[in-house]
Structure 1
Amino acid sequence: MGAHTGSYSLTVFSPSGKLVQIEHALAAVSQGTTSLGIKASNGIVIATEKKTSSILIDDSVIDKVAVICPNIGIVYSGMGPDFRVLVTKARKSAQAYWKIYGTYPPTRVLTQEIATVMQQATQSGGVRPYGVSLLVAGWDSHRGPTLYQVDPSGSFWAWKASAIGKNMVNAKTFLEKRYNDDISLEDAIHTALLTLKEGFEGQMTEKTIEIGVVTVPTPEELEAQHTDSATGRPKPTFRKLTEEEVRDYLSL
């Protein structure tokens, strides 16, 4: 019995060349609520459903969109506890980068760090892969606004628009029909809400939707080093929308 249960704790190749544990992790992701990201000409929006299993749960303390550092935000579909661990690791990595370079990491650098953590869980004895897919949105002076998806295998890609979770196939089809390269951030937010609405059960309100946006600093802000005079640190280019702002977008 011990040997049998032990075999399930290892991620090893099956004779067909598949890593079955990763397929199981992707199944966990596909049961999670839908999340999506859209890159606009002047920013990025990431959005997700925020549903609780009971009206008795205090949903004000649930965060599905997380700020990693002032220029990068992240959203997930899949297992919440796994996401929480990855957010902690990502924040530590961003702070370590800040200490060395005096600036926050480019989006690709941080995405690679997260992807490496997830990949290591696919080849370490006695651990299972992380049961989440992530959308990482950020801005940096090297590449501007960029949107990445990271899967349990540790694979990551840059996307113009993507969806993960329960309704991702329909959501991606919807996005393909509506996306164009010169879409503005405002239009991207509306498109994100329309896409979520397609497969949404129940009523979409500011309590059941979470949105994060990346904004591109103006040339004037960049010239002024884009810093906050009070702290001397860079002004945030990523932020979560407040419930009031989400309500306003939903009412349009």
Structure 2
Amino acid sequence: MGGSGPGYRAREHRAWKLAQQYYLIYREPSPTAQLGQRVAFVIQEYIHSGDVCPFGVSLRICGWNEGRPYLLRSDPSGAYFAEKATAVGKNYVNGKTFLKKRHNEDLGLKNATHTAILTLKESFEGQMTEDNIEIGICNEGGFRTLPSTEVKDPWLP
């Protein structure tokens, strides 16, 4: 998430509602790409109806469908894109550049976690510890956030 807290919560709430509506109708989780498209469409409707960009946040949606991971970026404009690795927030351009250099399809969980921490370290202000960062894992089992006890890296104090 990047942008204002209230704008993020509004988009997150809308995404949850869309996912729940899909589940109530089809009795299965919403495909990630379809959820991303529907969330972006809501923003586009607001913009086209009144030339207003109401939420002012960039949102990432991740999921697992058809045997592979999906990562979608939805911008404040309502545009959405599929990505393999991305960064958000202050200095996100540097983070994305760093990830493009290091990302490959064969990264294991340990190496991917290490790469994520190195990416954060590029623009982190203050001391970065396992208590002030979060790492999320999305796989065929679902999404989970690593507890701080599992966020181990030689770059952390």
> Same fold per TM (> 0.5)?
yes
Cα contact 1:171–1:195 (8 A) shared by 2: yes
Q: In structure 2, what is the equivalent of residue 13 of structure 1?
A: none
Q: In structure 2, what is the equivalent of residue 108 of structure 1?
A: 33
Q: What is the rounded CA distance, in whole Å, between the counterparts of 1:126 and 1:149 in structure 2? A: 21
Q: In structure 1, what is the equivalent of residue 57 of structure 2?
A: 132
CA distance change for structure 1 residues 191 and 205 in 2, over 3 Å: closer, same or farther? same
Q: In structure 2, what is the equivalent of residue 203 of structure 1?
A: 127
- The CA deviation string for residues 83-108 of structure 1, in whole angstroms up to 9 with x for no partner, is 10111111111111111111110100
Question: RMSD in angstroms over aligned alpha carbons?
Answer: 1.9
- The CA deviation string for residues 66-87 of structure 1, in whole angstroms up to 9 with x for no partner, is xxxxxxxxxx011111110111
- The CA deviation string for residues 178-213 of structure 1, in whole angstroms up to 9 with x for no partner, is 112211222111101100101111011233212211
- Aligned residue pair count: 156
Q: In structure 1, what is the equivalent of residue 94 of structure 2?
A: 170
Q: What is the rounded CA distance, in whole Å, between the counterparts of 2:131 and 2:108 in structure 1? A: 25
Q: What is the rounded CA distance, in whole Å, between the counterparts of 1:98 and 1:192 in structure 2? A: 32
Structure having greater relative contact order (Cα 8 Å, sep ≥ 6): 1
Q: What is the rounded CA distance, in whole Å, between the counterparts of 2:48 and 2:54 in structure 1? A: 9
Cα contact 2:61–2:73 (8 A) shared by 1: yes
Q: In structure 1, what is the equivalent of residue 42 of structure 2?
A: 117
The structure where strand makes up a greater share of residues is 1
The DSSP-based 3-state class of the residue aligned with 1:183 is coil
The DSSP-based 3-state class of the residue aligned with 1:149 is strand
CA distance change for structure 1 residues 154 and 127 in 2, over 3 Å: closer, same or farther? closer
The DSSP-based 3-state class of the residue aligned with 1:124 is helix
The DSSP-based 3-state class of the residue aligned with 2:50 is coil
CA distance change for structure 1 residues 157 and 126 in 2, over 3 Å: closer, same or farther? closer
Instruction: Name which of 157, 161, 166 aligns with 2:85.
Output: 161
Q: What is the rounded CA distance, in whole Å, between the counterparts of 1:200 and 1:98 in structure 2? A: 38
Structure 1 length-normalised TM: 0.58
How far apart are 1:127 and its partner, in Å?
Answer: 4.3
Q: What is the rounded CA distance, in whole Å, between the counterparts of 1:95 and 1:172 in structure 2? A: 31
Larger-Rg structure: 1
How far apart are 1:117 and its partner, in Å?
Answer: 1.4
The DSSP-based 3-state class of the residue aligned with 2:98 is helix
1:239 matched to 2:155? The reply is no
Q: What is the rounded CA distance, in whole Å, between the counterparts of 2:77 and 2:59 in structure 1? A: 12
Q: What is the rounded CA distance, in whole Å, between the counterparts of 1:154 and 1:128 in structure 2? A: 9
Long gaps (5+) in structure 2: none
How far apart are 1:124 and its partner, in Å?
Answer: 2.5
Cα contact 1:134–1:149 (8 A) shared by 2: yes
Q: What is the rounded CA distance, in whole Å, between the counterparts of 1:80 and 1:245 in structure 2? A: 27
What is the letter of the counterpart of residue 76 of structure 2? P
Long gaps (5+) in structure 1: 1-75, 218-236
Structure 2 length-normalised TM: 0.90
What is the letter of the counterpart of residue 95 of structure 1? Q
The DSSP-based 3-state class of the residue aligned with 1:82 is helix
Q: In structure 2, what is the equivalent of residue 187 of structure 1?
A: 111
How far apart are 1:125 and its partner, in Å?
Answer: 2.5
